Structure formats: C-alpha cells, structure tokens
Amino acid sequence: MIVKGLELGPFASNCYIVGADSGNEGIVIDPGAEADRILSAADDLGLNIKIIALTHGHMDHVGALAEVKKATGAEIAIHADDARSLQARNPFGSIFGGPSQAMPAPDRLLKGGDTIAVGDLHLLVLHTPGHTPGGICLLGEGVVFSGDTLFNLGIGRTDMPGGSYNQLMDSIHTKLLVLPDDTIVYPGHGPETTIAQERQWNPWL
Ligand SMILES: [Zn+2]
Ligand SMILES: [Zn+2]
C-alpha cells in the first residue's frame, strides 16, 4: 500500500494520497488546501485519483476540494451526516484566502460499514462521530486514517457545532482502540502514531 502524506495550508492539515501496491488508481483523503501540491504528488506517484474521501466537512480538510475534483474528475465521498457542512461553508470561502468558489456536491454519501475501493485497495468506513456528526475514519490493512478524531497524543476538539465529547470518547474507545496494537494511525493533523502508543500514552484516553 502506498501512503504519501502532505501537510497543507494555514491549519497544517494532513492530506493523504493512497494507492494499492499494484495498479495506478488512487484515493485522496482530505484535500485541505494547495491543490497544486496534491496533484503533483499524485503525478509523481503515477496515480490516477478516482476517489476523494473526506474524513469530515471542516474547511481545513476540504479547501482544495473543488480544484482537485475539477482536475481529476474523481468521485467525492463523505458521510451523509457531514455532507451538508460542505454546502454551508460556501459563503465563507473567501475568508480562508482562497477563491470563493462553490463547493462541488458529493457524489457518494457514506455510512459506517461501507467500503471505498480502487483496484486492490479497500478502505472500510468507520463512523466516528464526536468531532463532527459525520466524522469517519478509514481503515486499511494495518493502517487507519483518523481525521480529527484521534491525533498523536491528542483528540479532536468537540466545541464546534455538532461536536460531542461523549460521542468522541465512545468512537475512539469502540472503533479505534479495539484495533491491533501495531496499526499505524495517520491523523488529520500532526505526526503519525500507532494504536499501541495512543492506548498507552495518550493523556486524554
Ligand atoms: Zn475538523
Ligand atoms: Zn482539522
């Protein structure tokens, strides 16, 4: 499995470009900003982006969505409970310094238990509400992309609209900490970690 992480934009959000070891189809997770860097990284990896998967609808994870969609024609997938937040952000686009362009509508609404697949690469959708109602983590072989649900020695904030501390804790404990120790966690901000490290050292858990 190919995983290329890029730290993008003023909020230092992590975007991941993911592909199977064979074949040339790829997935972009959270195109938060700087579409040109995302597209050239995908080019360097030789990947045609077929799916843009969003861990949630916050602006720092979707800022380059329109440009990446336009350049690749990839299908946009987001949990149904966060789909509306894409549209809700339109009027505020210019505040974030980018062109105030309309957010493209999602092509696919996800729910927990769904699979996102390109070629031999399969990612299972884990619905992990708490940071946002439609927050998801994406589970691949030995890896999980945790969005703003779980960070290296941190957890997502729950003080924004739709956030819930109790839900976030439940999501982390029942969906993430049950994964094998050596599962690599690729979070929405900051460096990667493992489930074992977070279970042992994360002060919030
Ligand atoms: Zn967020
Ligand atoms: Zn974020």
Per-residue pLDDT tens over the stretch 97-109: 444 557 899 999 9
Residue 148 Cα to ligand 2 middle (Å): 5
Residue pair 192/152 in contact (Cβ under 8 Å)? The answer is yes
- pLDDT value of position 91: 47
Rounded to two decimals, what is the model's pTM? 0.94
Q: Which ligand is nearest to the CA of 189?
A: 2
Residue 118 Cα to ligand 2 middle (Å): 25
Task: Find the Cα–Cα–Cα–Cα dihedral 152, 171, 137, 61, rounded to 10°.
Answer: -70
Residue 133 Cα to ligand 2 middle (Å): 14
Residue pair 54/74 in contact (Cβ under 8 Å)? The answer is no
Per-residue pLDDT tens over the stretch 19-47: 999 889 999 999 999 999 999 999 999 99
- pLDDT value of position 166: 98
Mean pLDDT computed over every residue of the chain: 93
Q: Which residue bears the tokens 């969609």?
A: 69
Residue 184 Cα to ligand 1 middle (Å): 20
Instruction: Kindly indicate the confidence band of residue 88, based on its pLDDT and cuts at 50, 70 and 90.
Output: low
**Once rounded to an integer, what is the mean pLDDT over residues 72-95?**
78
Instruction: Kindly indicate the confidence band of residue 86, based on its pLDDT and cuts at 50, 70 and 90.
Output: confident
- Dig out the tokens for 100 from the structure: 């105030």
Residue 14 Cα to ligand 2 middle (Å): 8
Residue 50 Cα to ligand 2 middle (Å): 23
Per-residue pLDDT tens over the stretch 145-181: 999 999 999 999 999 989 999 999 999 999 999 999 9
Residue 97 Cα to ligand 2 middle (Å): 17
Which range, of 91-100, 124-133, 153-162, averages the lowest pLDDT?
Answer: 91-100
Residue 23 Cα to ligand 2 middle (Å): 30
Q: Which residue bears the tokens 């937040």?
A: 85
Instruction: Kindly indicate the confidence band of residue 93, based on its pLDDT and cuts at 50, 70 and 90.
Output: very low
Nearest to 85 by CA among 1, 12, 160: 160
Residue 156 Cα to ligand 2 middle (Å): 8
pLDDT surpassing 60 at residue 84: yes
Positive or negative torsion for Cα 8, 9, 10, 16: negative
- pLDDT value of position 120: 94
Residue 62 Cα to ligand 2 middle (Å): 10
Produce one character per residue of 46-78: b if its CB has 16 or more CB atoms within 10 Å, e if not: ebebbbbbbbbbbbbbbbbbbbbbeebebbbbb
Question: What does the alpha-carbon distance between residue 20 and residue 100 come to, in Å, rounded to a whole number?
Answer: 34
Q: Which ligand is nearest to the CA of 132?
A: 1
Residue 205 Cα to ligand 1 middle (Å): 19
Question: What does the alpha-carbon distance between residue 195 and residue 52 come to, in Å, rounded to a whole number?
Answer: 25
- pLDDT value of position 71: 97
- pLDDT value of position 89: 54
Residue 156 Cα to ligand 1 middle (Å): 7
Beta strands in the chain (DSSP E): 2-8, 13-19, 25-29, 48-53, 75-79, 108-110, 115-118, 121-127, 136-140, 143-147, 150-151, 154-155, 184-187, 193-194
- pLDDT value of position 101: 58
Positive or negative torsion for Cα 172, 146, 195, 157: negative
